[in-house]
A and B are shown apart, each in its own frame.
Chain A
Amino acid sequence: MKHIIAEYPEMVLNISTVGILAVDKRLNIILWNRFMEIHSRMKADEVLGRNIFSCFPELNRNWLEKKLKTVMVLKSTSFTSWKQKPYLFHFQSTQPITGEISSMYQDCAFWVIQDGTGLVRGVCISVHDMTETAVAQRMLNQITEEALYLEENIQKDGLTGLYNRAFFDEQISQEIQRARRYEWNLALIMLDIDFFKKINDTYGHQTGDVVLKELANILTQIVRNSDIVCRYGGEEFAIIMPQVDIAVMPIICDRILSGIRSMEIPYKEEIIKLTSSIGYTFLESGMVPGDLVRQADEALYRSKKTGRNRFTAFK
């Protein structure tokens, strides 16, 4: 065994940045460099000539035996990556002070050792410390997640959690395009709370906010998942409804109106009740997003004019 070790230059043994070890065909350790000594806390003297699994019982034996055999049979190279398997040898992290990770992430390569005549002598294994990369990747994942969160929230209204006006403006154009491409219906509902200014003036803005939040809840519960509920402004809400059956619009509007009528907002000893008004319209050929909003708004205005707490379809 000694003569195999002697074939390797001294410098390989002294490398402390990459782990280099080798096993013979019986899986006894025949090479153990400085890196391996430092991180395993086992000197070459203690491991050389011993079976790798008796030195490191924590190694996954079935799998590693299979892998080493494969390398010897195929006379080839094989790998493990920290991305799938964090480590081969369980070593402590090299960042005891500044790091939050406790064990060293490793990339490993396994390659066959052949003598001059091509006879297989064993397998050499290199162990690379990938902890820095793993930490960087973890940070990158975290930042990506935060960016996704921000992107989602930039579309939302902070108070109600509904989509905001900016999102509505963008979405309505897209939905019009989709409706035309797939030739399905598209309806737009505009909804306004009746006498909301009076609620704010009488009960205060905090109560007004509670009303808006509660109303947002009711709307999302009533409409379908595919409908897009937006806070259009102040106390005005817009609902984009793709693929909707024209005949069911009065039923949906009725359900929304009665849902809002049955809301009970507690204020001190009192219960506040409210009503709302709705106007809606459908997409027809030649219309642009502005037309859709204008028509729904006109219908809403008519609901207000004719006594509130009702819905009107644009004609």
Chain B
Amino acid sequence: MNAQVQLNQEEMDAFKEVINIGMGKAGAALSEILEGFVSLKVPEVQLLELDNLIHVLEKSVADFSSINMSKQSFVDQIRGEILFIFAPIAYERLGKILGFENLQDLTANRKSELILEISNSLSSACLFGLSNQLGLSVALKPPNMVCLEEAPDKIKAKVFGGKKPSWDHTLLIKIEFSMSDIQFNCEILVFVAEDSILPLKNALNTLLED
């Protein structure tokens, strides 16, 4: 494997430390805007190849009979994409927290709107938590739906739309988010693009030197 995309043990430890601090800040901000107790856990940080990624996705959706997924890109000094996988959602309760009205009339569009709204808040919190710690600037693009209430099969086709990805490696930060008050759970998969791993390593080494 190309050494430029590899994180050595020291770098990986520093990265996990950065993530933990970042998630602490993200959690505090999210519980302020969502007005409730939130939990953010980071069970996995790892460098992945495409096949492993598909495996990670399949594992993430395996327990559900129906899934919702959205995605959001980030750009600037580090770039990549965030994939959200939602367990079945109590839309009324989530909608109330987000200030939505007329929740009895839940069309597919309204459900998507809610999912994209919470996706955006989650990616804002998690990403800026990270980028601030690393001293790297990042900007978010608008979120998009991947699928709404679909069977959890053909996950590769859903995510890649039948196209063959043009990269070999990606750095995955897997975040588990939950709000127990409204039984809301989601998995946030942050994928750092291959060409952003080196800038990330450099930022980590700057931190390590200080």
Contacts and interface: CB of A to CB of B under 8 A. Distances in A.
Residue in B32, B100, B110, B117 with the greatest tally of chain A CB atoms within 10 Å? B117
B121 A63 contact: no
Given A77-B124, A79-B120, A84 B109 contact: yes
B99 A83 contact: no
Interface in B25-71: 29-30, 32-33
Interface string A39-83: 000000000000000000000101111110110011111110101
B110 A84 contact: yes
A84 B112 CA distance: 7
A52 to B, nearest CB: 15
A275 to B, nearest CB: 48
Given A70-B121, A73-B29, A74-B128, A63 B140 contact: no
Interface in A240-256: none
Does more than half of chain B's interface fall in helix, strand or loop, or is it mixed?
A: helix
A63 B121 CA distance: 14
Given A70-B33, A70-B121, A84-B113, A77 B101 contact: no
A167 B110 CA distance: 39
Contacts, number: 58
B139 interface: yes
A88 interface: no
B116 interface: yes
Contacts of B112: 83-84
Residue in A74, A76, A85 with the greatest tally of chain B CB atoms within 10 Å? A74
B99 A79 contact: no
Interface residues of B, number: 23
Nearest to B121: A70
Contacts of A65: 99
Residue in A66, A67, A70, A109 with the greatest tally of chain B CB atoms within 10 Å? A70
B15 to A, nearest CB: 22
Nearest to B115: A84
Given A66-B99, A67-B99, A69-B33, A83 B109 contact: yes
Nearest to A109: B142
B87 to A, nearest CB: 21
Nearest to A64: B99
Residue in A84, A107, A109 with the greatest tally of chain B CB atoms within 10 Å? A84
A84 B116 contact: yes
A164 B87 CA distance: 44
Contacts of A81: 116, 142
Contacts of A62: 99-101
A75 B113 contact: no
Interface of A: 60, 62-67, 69-70, 73-79, 81, 83-85, 107, 109
Which 7 residue pairs across A and B have the least CB separation, nearest first? Answer: A66-B99, A76-B124, A84-B113, A79-B142, A62-B99, A63-B99, A74-B124
Given A65-B99, A74-B121, A77-B139, 14 more contacts: A62-B101, A63-B99, A63-B100, A63-B101, A66-B98, A70-B33, A74-B125, A76-B125, A77-B140, A78-B121, A79-B142, A79-B143, A83-B112, A84-B112
